[in-house]
Amino acid sequence: MSEPAPKKLPKAQRREQLLDVAMAVVRKEGTDALTLAHLAERAGVSKPIPYEHFQSRAGLLMALYERIDAAQLTEFEEALQRTRRKLEDVAKVMSGSYMHCYLTIGPEQHAISAALKGDGQMETFYQTILDRYVDLYRDALAPYCELPKETLRLRCVGIIGAAEAISRDMLRGAISESTAATTLGSLIVSWLSARK
């Protein structure tokens, strides 16, 4: 007996369904198992459908990361709008939002980040995302420090790197979310309070 044909979904809805299934594959089987053919099998669709949406494995990984990134960006911006305008408060919101997003999404984000370093196209995409975060942090923190713009930007590069490392410790259970957020927040405050 043959399998029933998959329900025809509008294109945007099908894309979201495929991304949901792709995230489940990453969660259960890792990024190495995430191919477009495997995604088609898991989603119960014909092989051409994932190719129509993502063109390649790199396209799929980038779409997954963009989805995660959009959720993080929304949470960050909403939290920032609700906070008082003091360096300590902004740093607390930034670090808390960062760690909460990583904890909510889980280790899949780090796995997808690592997989994005597989070829030139994906590395360029990933660097664009990181640059966007650095600029976002720089713009959010600029009103609260007297550092020159380029010095502040370079410190934001360091803050993002530290945030990545601290979130890895948090995800492996070495530290709690509150410790991770407090540590990152104190790093932001100390780096931006320094005059040079």
- Which range among 8-22, 114-128, 144-158 shows the weakest confidence by mean pLDDT? 114-128
- pLDDT number for residue 105: 77
- Contact at 8 Å (CB) between 100 and 177? yes
- Position 45 pLDDT exceeds 70: yes
- Is the backbone of residue 88 left (phi > 0), alpha (psi -120 to 50) or beta? alpha
pLDDT digits (tens, 9 = 90+) for 59-89: 999 899 888 888 888 888 888 888 888 999 9
What does the block give as tokens for 117? 């370093």
- pLDDT number for residue 35: 93
Percentage of the residues of the chain whose pLDDT score is greater than 70: 95
Q: Please give the mean pLDDT across all residues of the chain.
A: 88
pLDDT digits (tens, 9 = 90+) for 87-105: 999 999 999 988 988 888 7
- Position 171 pLDDT exceeds 60: yes
- Which range among 6-15, 87-96, 180-189 shows the weakest confidence by mean pLDDT? 6-15
- Position 195 pLDDT exceeds 70: no
- Which residues contact residue 59 at a Cβ distance below 8 angstroms, ignoring those fewer than 6 apart? none
- Which residues contact residue 76 at a Cβ distance below 8 angstroms, ignoring those fewer than 6 apart? 94, 97, 98, 101, 136
Four-point Cα dihedral 27, 175, 73, 82, nearest 10: 140
The whole-number average pLDDT for the span 44-61 is 93
Handedness of CA 75, 72, 33, 9 (dihedral sign): positive
Between residues 25 and 85, which one has the greater pLDDT? 25
pLDDT band at 1 (very low <50, low <70, confident <90, very high): very low
